[in-house]
Amino acid sequence: MGQPEQRDEAGDGSPPLGVGMVGYAFMGAAHSQGWRTVGRVFDLPRRPVLAAVCGRDGAAVRAMADRHGWAAAETDWRALIERDDVDLVDICTPGDSHAEIALAALAAGKHVLCEKPLANTVEEAEAMAGAAEAARARGQVAMVGFNYRRVPAAALARSMVAEGRLGELRHVRVAYLQDWLTDPEFPLTWRLRKEAAGSGALGDLGAHIVDLAQYVAGERLAGVSALTETFVRERPLPEGASSGLSGAGGAGRGAVTVDDAALFTGRFTTGALASFEATRYATGRKNALRIELNGARGSLSFDLERLNELWYHDGTEPDTHAGFRRILVTEPDHPYLAAWWPPGHGLGYEHTFVHQARDLVHAVAEGTQPLPSFADGLQVQRVLAAVEESAAKNSVFTSVAV
C-alpha cells in the first residue's frame, strides 16, 4: 500500500494532512491542542486537519469532537483507519491497544503517532518497530509520543551536551515524581491494571525519564539494577465514569497488579552512571520531572515544574564566580521559540504537543524519519523489561537487550 494521495483542497499549495485520533481522554485532549494549534503558529509544508476522533462511547466522543474541533466522530477504530480523509493515525489509548491499532494503521498505508510507552510488552514493541521499518520503505513514518523531548529547555540541554559543554558525562540523575495515588481509596482505574497498562509508574513515568535521559545524554543505557514496590495492593473498583487519573471508588475491591514506584540505577554505554526514580506517591509533587547531568567540565539541571528554565554550571570558570546560573529558555534562538512569544513570555506543558505535531508534519512532508522512532520506543521498552527483571531478582544488574 502506498502513501495516501496528497489532496490540496484549500488550493493554497499546502496539502492537508488528515489526522484521525483514537482515544479522547487526557492524552487525546492534549494531542488535540497540538494538532489544532500547530498550523497557526508554525509554517508547515502540510496543513493538519482534524478529520476524525474515535472512542467507544458515541455521545462522549461526539462531545469531545465538538469541543476540540474534530470534524467527525467514530466509535470503531477500524472504521477510522479506513477513512480516506485520514492520512495519519494518532493513538492515544491505553497501552493494551497500541500494537493492534498501530499495526493495522501501518498496514492500511497510514502514518502513525503512538503515545508512550510504545507497547505493553517487548514482543509487541518488536512487532511495531518491524512494521514501522517495512512501512518506511513505502514512504510512511511512525513516531512515539515522548513529548518531553519537545520542551525547548530539554532540546537545548541535549545540544549543549552534544557541543561538549559538559565534557565527559559522569552522572545522569533523573526523577519523575507525582502524588495522585497517595490516597489508598483512589479507585482501581486502568492505569493500575497490568493487562491494560503493562506496568505502573515504571511504564507511565519511568518510560519518560529513560527516554529523556538517553535523549539529553546522547547515550544509551547498557544495564540497570532495580527495585519496584506496590504500596497499596488492593483498591476500590471504579464506580461510574473514570479516567485513568480520576474517578470514584465503589463497593467492591480489586488487586493492584502494577508497581506504584520504581527506583533503579543504570550504567550508560559510555560508563556514565545514572539514577532513576518514578513514583506516584511523592506527596506534594504533582508533575516534577527533574534531570541533572554532571560532566567533567560542567553540569545542567532542569525541572519540568519550571520548564522555561535550564540551569548551567560552567566548570571551566574560575571558582571565585562559577556556579549554577539560570538560562531563561525563551529566546528566539532557542529550540522552537522563534515562532512563539517575545523573550520572557514562557511556554507550558501543552506546547510540547504542538512541537511534537510540528516535527511530525515536517517528517511526513519531507519523507524523513521522525524521532523518537518506533525502534527508539522498542529500546525504551527493553530498558523497562530489564528493570522488571532486575527487580524480580532483588536488584541483580541486568543488561538491556540490544
Residues that bind ligand SOE (CB under 6 A): 26, 178, 204-205, 208, 245, 287
**Cα torsion 365, 90, 124, 375: sign:** positive
Task: CB nearer to ligand SOE: give 33 or 178.
Answer: 178
Closest CA to 228 of 27, 395, 8: 395
Task: CB nearer to ligand SOE: give 26 or 341.
Answer: 26
Task: CB nearer to ligand SOE: give 205 or 291.
Answer: 205
Least Cβ distance, residue 199 to ligand SOE (angstroms): 12
Least Cβ distance, residue 379 to ligand SOE (angstroms): 18
Least Cβ distance, residue 395 to ligand SOE (angstroms): 24
Task: CB nearer to ligand SOE: give 160 or 307.
Answer: 307
Distances (CA, A) of 253 to 113, 189, 191, 201, 232: 35, 11, 15, 21, 12
Least Cβ distance, residue 149 to ligand SOE (angstroms): 12
φ/ψ (deg, to 5) at 204: -75, -50
Which is it for strands 221-229 and 398-399: parallel, antiparallel or unpaired? antiparallel
- When CB distances to ligand SOE are compared, the closest residue is 204
Task: CB nearer to ligand SOE: give 126 or 204.
Answer: 204
Least Cβ distance, residue 321 to ligand SOE (angstroms): 37
Least Cβ distance, residue 205 to ligand SOE (angstroms): 6
Task: CB nearer to ligand SOE: give 178 or 225.
Answer: 178
The angle at the Cα of 145, spanning 139 to 150, to the nearest 5 degrees, equals 105
Asked if residues 47 and 70 have their Cβ atoms less than 8 Å apart, the reply is: no
